[in-house]
Amino acid sequence: MQPAPRLEPPPEAAAPNPSAFPVATSRGRLLLDRSAAVLVRAGGFAVVFSLVGILAFLLVEVAPLFRGANVSEPRALSASAGPPELLLADASLARLASVAADGRVTVLDAESGAVQATLPFPVAGEILDVGDAPGEPTFSALLGDGRVIVVPVDWRVDYGEANARTVSAVLGTPVELPLEPADATVVAFSARARASGSAAAAVLSDSTLVVVRRTVRVNDFTGERDEQLARFQIPSPEGVTRLVLDSDQRQLYGADARGGLYWWEIAEDGVRTPRISQTGAPISALSLLVGGRSVVVGNANGDLSIWFRVQSGRAHAELVRAHEISSQGSEIRAIAPSWRKRTFAALSADGSLGLYHSTSERTLWRGKAAGEAAVAAVLAPRGDALFVASANGVRAFDVRNPHPETSIAGLAAPIWYEDYPEPTWVWQSTGGSEEFEPKLSLTPLAVGTLKGTFYALFFAIPLGILGALYTSQLMDPRLQRWVKPIVEIMASLPSVVLGFLAGLWLAPRLERYFPGLLLLLVASPLLALAAGAAFRALPARLRGRLPPGTEVALAAALLAAGAGVSIVLSGAVEGMVFGGDFGAWLQATTGLAYDQRNAVVAGIAMAFAVIPIIFAIAEESLSNVPKTLTAASLALGATRWQTLARVVLPAASPGLFAAVMIGFGRAVGETMIVLMATGNTPLLGWSPFDGFRSLSANIAVEIPEAPHGATLYRVLFLSALLLFMVTFVLNTAADLVRESLRRRYSGN
């Protein structure tokens, strides 16, 4: 900074009192002034930054939800001898097992591709075919003598001397399941084994279906093992070429080359006749998603569809085409499901690869496997790598695919989930089992939010605006000074207290006296009118001498009495109108159930929070209407009410609209009241007697349990973002309205 030059006075013009001060301002003062200016400006901008920062942060947290999968360039792992038939990956992505047609297992380092070990097939015999078990670390082999051998692959983790983690593959005890095909040959088979039992199913060349099941019961006390072998054989439809057994060994799915999709139920005592669905094109690949309920069907045209059983009405359950994936263009050769989510990879005859999610029907990624024809593909158990085998070896793709299940449509539109008869909107973030699929539709929550807001505004708009009208236009200014702080106090009541009162005090009382509330709703305007009439009936001279506020006090007294009487009469009304029991009457006439904590209760409590906001803003905009306008109207002989209705209300109506908008914003974001005064059921519905769950309460309920960065976490951020945007738009719009109103009348 330049030091400011002195203003030299001419020598002969020295001031009469020679100045005791330095004439130039000190650098320190100037520096302080400048830095204070910078600091203050920074403070001002910091608010904008905060707002933009919050928005940006929410966006950054939400954005990954809608990104596709990130799949790396492939790495070549090995040029193994002989093409692998199927692959098995270790969850930690350290090792990969490739099973050759002769049952030999080659264990590769999943990083470098180096061969770690070669394990011979543990059972002697000629191997005709090998098969996988989607979602489980086993593979099975069909031997020439008709036995099916299921081999578990265990991944052993050792921490050696140097605490270095090494993983090795060990083949577990093989399970034998004799198919006893007699003279026929096996056309297709599928087998699974777990501790409680194992099963194999096969279609034979003589059009029969054979299911062999070995159940193991271990006596917990004696440790005795009791093994039983059962064999069922039923005629099979002609031409079944593929079979896949679910992990419970209860459902068996098959496919034929003409496009038929078969579903057999395996009961304790036998196999039920299959239900058949036509898929339309020859099926070339068949697999099961995690949980075993969804069948992924790939056909010769490259189309992929997901089928699961749906029970509609009393009829038998049937397989339906629930989801379709856009075609991959060339015959599907292999389908590799994830073990965790409803994600799967599909491999086509022309080497094209795709990564999809069934429920969201999203195509997450598409690419090329390799030049030559690929034969097998597997997704790592955690879905973080994809391995594709071809005649020349195995290629590995690193997959980053954290949120395959969300799509914008999926958050708003109905989605068809397993076990549901039709597409629907569901919010259910956690379930009992690992196979549970989180259902994250925001629609029920948005509807709940709107429902709560509607009932809040239903009570708040009339009370807030009419009260403001009286206060600003008709009330003695001395009393205004009292009323406004009272409304401010109302605004400051903590919502947790309102919620507590609504949930624990009001809700049980409203349940008993609901007819009384209805009575009060009808009666209170009448009572207010009666109070006004009574007040005006007083002789004018007497009225003038009464203290200001008598009119309000009279109305308050009548309303309080009315409320008391309504409660007392509630039982009588219930008896006369609702046949003695409102809940039963409601159920009988409308089919609606009465929940104790319902939307009306929450609406009343939220109205408490919204009234002061509407009141304050409405009062302000009504007060901004120049007094000259009302005076002019009154001077023309208009009555008080005519002046209000024809002059004041039209002039202030944008402000009243703004008041409602801001009140709406407040109600939309209210959390604690909804949390405490409703049952928090995230069900879609408009009934005032049901509970609901709002977006905001949902965040409060769910986010403590949501792991950082998980899909649920990000979806909750998305709902926060929605709330942010809605209230931002509402508030900004309301602000602009108020500002223009203020400008219009500030001139007068």
Partner 1 sequence: MISLTAGALAANLLLVGGLVALVAVNGLGHFWQADIAALVQSDGTTLLGEIADRELDSDESGQPRERWRVAVGNRDLGGSDFRWIDASQVTGESWPSDAGVLEREEWGRFYGFPVAIRNGESVRVEGTEPVWAALPELLRENRASRAAKVDALAAEIRGLNGQIERLRREGRDTNELQVRYEEAASALSAREAELLADVLVMRTADGREKAIPLSQVVRAVRANALGARGKFALYGSRLWEFLAGEPRESNTEGGIFPAIFGTVLMVMLTSLAVAPFGVLTALYLREYARQGIVVRAVRIAVNSLAGVPSIVFGVFGLGFFVYLVGGSLDSLFFADRLPTPTFGTGGILWASLTLALLTVPVVVVATEEGLAAVPRVVREGSLALGATKFETLLRVVLPAALPGVLTGLILAMARAAGEVAPLMIVGMVKLAPSLPLDGEFPFLHLERKFMHLGFHIYDVGFQSPNIEAVRPLVFATALLLILVVLSTNLTAILVRNHLRRKYAGSAI
Partner 2 sequence: MTQPAQSPELARLPEFEKAVLRVKELSLWYGATQALKEISLDIPERKITALIGPSGCGKSTLLRCINRMHDLIDGVRVEGQLLFHDRSIFDPEVDVFALRRRIGMVFQKSNPFPKSIYENVAYGCRIHGIGARSELDEIVERSLVSAGLWGEVKDRLRESALGLSGGQQQRLCIARAIAVEPEVILLDEPCSALDPIATQVIEELMRGLADRYTIVIVTHNMQQAARVSDYTAFMYLGRVIEFGETGELFVKPRVRATEDYIRGKFG
Our separate counts of H helices and E strands in the chain read 16, 33
Q: Which is nearer to partner 2, 4 or 412 (CB)?
A: 4
With 0-12 / 13-18 / 19 or more C-beta atoms within 10 angstroms meaning exposed / middle / buried, residue 641 is exposed
C-alpha span between 434 and 309 (Å, rounded)? 20
Sheet containing 105-109: order of strands: 84-89, 95-100, 105-109, 115-119
Residues 6+ away with beta carbon under 8 Å from 277? 260, 261, 263, 307, 318, 319, 320, 321
Q: Does 670 participate in binding partner 1 (rule CB under 8 A)? A: yes
Q: Please say which residue, 20 or 533, places its beta carbon nearer to partner 2.
A: 20
Work out what residue 22 binds among partner 1, partner 2, none; the CB cut-off runs from 5 to 8 Å by kind: partner 2
> Which residues contact partner 2 by CB under 8 A?
2, 4-10, 13, 15-17, 19-26, 29-30
Q: By C-alpha distance, which of 510, 505, 563, 556 is closest to 535? A: 556
Binding partner of 373, given partner 1, partner 2, none, CB within 5-8 angstroms per partner class: none
Q: What, of partner 1, partner 2, none, does residue 471 touch, CB below 5 to 8 Å by kind?
A: partner 1
Select from partner 1, partner 2, none the partner in contact with residue 474, using the beta carbon and a kind-dependent cut-off of 5 to 8 Å. Answer: partner 1
Can you tell me which residue has the tokens 């807001």?
453
The listed partner (partner 2, partner 1, none) that binds 507, CB under 5 to 8 Å by sort, is none
Question: Which of positions 121-140 make contact with partner 1 (CB under 8 A)?
Answer: none
Q: Which does 5 bind (CB under 5 to 8 A by kind): partner 1, partner 2, none?
A: partner 2
492 near partner 1, judged by CB under 8 A: yes
Quick one: what does residue 47 bind among partner 1, partner 2, none, with the CB cut-off 5 to 8 Å set by partner type?
A: partner 1
Region binding partner 1 by CB under 8 A among candidate stretches 120-128, 399-407, 487-495, 587-595? 487-495
The interface mask with partner 1, positions 566-605, x = CB under 8 A, is -----x---x----x-------------------------
Is residue 746 close enough to count as binding partner 1 by CB under 8 A? Answer: no
Nearest approach, Cβ of residue 16 and partner 2 (Å): 4
Kindly state the tokens that stand for 175: 């399970």
Q: Which does 15 bind (CB under 5 to 8 A by kind): partner 1, partner 2, none?
A: partner 2
CA distance 188 to 186: 6
Residue 36 as a binder of partner 1 (CB under 8 A): the answer is yes
Comparison of 436 and 482: residue with beta carbon closer to partner 1: 482
Q: Which is nearer to partner 1, 14 or 489 (CB)?
A: 489
Quick one: CA dihedral 369, 370, 373, 375, positive or negative?
Answer: negative
Collapsed DSSP state (helix, strand, coil) of residue 599 = helix
DSSP label at residue 236: -
Minimum distance between the CB of residue 651 and partner 1, rounded to whole angstroms? 17
CB of residue 19 to partner 1, shortest distance in Å: 12
Closest separation in Å from C-beta 12 to partner 2? 8
Candidates 66, 232, 500, 585; binder of partner 1 (CB under 8 A) is: 500
| Radius of gyration (C-alpha) of the chain in whole angstroms | 38
**Secondary structure of residue 13 in the 3-state scheme:** helix
Question: How is residue 497 written in tokens?
Answer: 């207290």
Among 408, 556, 632, 636, binds partner 1 (CB under 8 A): 556
Nearest distance, CB of residue 554 and partner 2, angstroms = 44
Q: Which of 58, 141, 415, 660 binds partner 1 (CB under 8 A)?
A: 58
The reply to whether 553 sits near partner 1 by the rule CB under 8 A is: yes
What are the DSSP calls for 259-307, one per residue?
SEEEEEEEETTEEPPPEEEE-SS-EEEEEE-TTS-PEEEEETTS-EEEE
**Which residue among 3, 525, 548, 650 contacts partner 1 (CB under 8 A)?**
525
Nearest to 741 by CA among 653, 633, 614, 644: 653
The pair of structure tokens assigned to 362 is 């999203």
Part of the chain binding partner 1 (CB under 8 A), chosen from 24-32, 194-202, 221-229, 415-423: 24-32
Closer CB to partner 2, 5 or 704, in the complex? 5
Q: Which of 457, 611, 625, 715 binds partner 1 (CB under 8 A)?
A: 611
3-state secondary structure of 476: coil
Q: What one-letter code names the amino acid at 306?
A: I
Q: Which CB sits closer to partner 2, 15 or 315?
A: 15
Indicate whether 489 belongs to the interface with partner 1 (CB under 8 A). yes
**Contact with partner 1 (CB under 8 A): which of 332, 355, 483, 737?**
483
What is the Cα–Cα distance from 507 to 679, expressed in whole angstroms?
11
Question: What is the token pair recorded at 184?
Answer: 């026929």
First to last CA, the chain: 47
The one of partner 2, partner 1, none whose footprint includes residue 26, by CB under 5 to 8 A per kind, is partner 2
Query: Which of partner 2, partner 1, none does residue 310 bind (CB under 5 to 8 Å by kind)?
Result: none
Rounded Cα gap, residues 24 and 30, in angstroms: 11
- Closest approach, Cβ 483 to partner 1, in A, equals 7
**108 contact, one of partner 1, partner 2, none, CB 5-8 Å limit per kind:** none
User: Residue 353 CB, nearest distance to partner 1 (Å)?
Assistant: 34
Q: Is 727 in the site for partner 1 (CB under 8 A)?
A: yes
Round to whole Å and give the CA distance between 354 and 350. 12
Our finding on whether 716 is near partner 1 (CB under 8 A) is yes
User: At residue 620, what are phi and psi to the nearest 5 degrees?
Assistant: -65, -45
CB-based contacts of 263, cutoff 8 Å, min separation 6? 251, 252, 253, 254, 274, 275, 276, 277, 295, 309, 319
The least CB distance from residue 31 to partner 2, in Å, is 13
**Residue 15 touches partner 1, criterion: CB under 8 A:** no
416 contacts 125 by C-beta, under 8 angstroms: no
- The full DSSP string for 63-81 is GGGG---EEPPPEEEE--S
Is 723 near partner 1 (CB under 8 A)? Answer: yes
In the structure encoding, which two tokens stand for residue 84, read together? 């692998």
In this structure, are strands 105-109 and 115-119 parallel, antiparallel, or unpaired? antiparallel
Which residue is listed with tokens 């057999």?
Answer: 264
Residue 641 near which of partner 2, partner 1, none (CB within 5-8 Å, type-dependent): partner 1
